[in-house]
Amino acid sequence: MKEQKNKANAETWFQRGYRKGEVFARHEADYDELAAVARAGSIPVGWDLYRAETLNRHLGDASFNFQAYEAGFARACKEFFDTI
């Protein structure tokens, strides 16, 4: 039961990351930023400030799963990068 709840929670954070990644890819990122995310398959390690902002935004939520969020964000960016 707990494993099922964790999987559902991870999916929720994946979806949130995906939505944020879509907005980032379409309205905020330039080509080089999209290429960096697509190459890394995640939020690039050098983007410490972006990582810190994301963690800080969700600091009060004990269910926050950064790995799931990051995977969703990266997938949205990669999909958009592949289409352009």
- Domain coordinates in residue numbering, the chain: 2-83
Q: Say how far apart CA 55 and CA 65 lie, in whole Å.
A: 10
Given a cut of 60, whether residue 2 has pLDDT beyond it is no
Q: For the segment 3-56, what is each residue's pLDDT rounded down to a tens digit?
A: 556 666 657 999 999 999 999 999 999 999 999 999 999 999 899 999 999 999
Q: Which two tokens stand for residue 50?
A: 């972006």
What's the CA gap between 74 and 71, in Å, rounded? 5
Distance, in Å, from the CA atom of 79 to the CA atom of 4, rounded to the nearest integer, reads 28
pLDDT for residue 7: 65
Verdict on whether the full-model pTM lies above 0.75 = yes
